[in-house]
Amino acid sequence: MAVRLAELAVPVIGAPMAGGPSTPELVAAVNRAGGLGFLAAGYKSAAGMAEQIAAVRKSTDRPYGVNLFVPAPPADPAAVAAYRERLRPEAERWGVALPEEIGPDRDDWEAKRAALLADPVPVVSYTFGLPTAEEAAALRAVGTLQVGTVTTPEEARAAQAVGMDALCVQGPEAGGHRGTHRVTDAPGELPLLELLSAVRAVTPLPLIAAGGLGDGAAVAAALRAGAVAVQLGTALLRSDESGASATHRAALTELPETVVTRAFTGRPARGLRNAFIDRHGRYAPPAYPEVHHLTAPLRAAATRRADTTAMHLWAGTAHRLARTGPAEEIVAELWRSARG
In angstroms and rounded to an integer, the radius of gyration of the C-alpha atoms of the chain is: 19
Please say if the pLDDT value at position 191 is more than 60.
Answer: yes
What is the pLDDT of the chain when averaged over all its residues? 97
Q: Residue 1: what pLDDT? A: 54
User: Would you call 333 helix, strand, or coil by DSSP?
Assistant: helix
Please say if the pLDDT value at position 43 is more than 70.
Answer: yes
| Residue 163 confidence class, pLDDT cut points 50, 70, 90 | very high
Rounded mean pLDDT of 272-291?
98
Tell me whether the omega of the peptide bond preceding residue 63 falls within 30 degrees of 0, making it cis.
no
Rounded mean pLDDT of 150-176?
98
Q: Residue 233: what pLDDT? A: 98
Q: Which residues contact 51 (CB under 8 A, 6 or more apart)?
A: none
Please say if the pLDDT value at position 89 is more than 80.
Answer: yes
Q: Is the pTM of this model over 0.85?
A: yes
Rounded mean pLDDT of 181-190?
95
Residue pLDDT, tens place only, 241-259: 999 999 999 999 999 999 9
| Residue 2 confidence class, pLDDT cut points 50, 70, 90 | confident
| Residue 261 confidence class, pLDDT cut points 50, 70, 90 | very high
Rounded mean pLDDT of 199-203?
98
Percent of the chain with pLDDT over 70: 100
Rounded distance between C-alpha atoms, residue 228 and residue 105, angstroms: 35
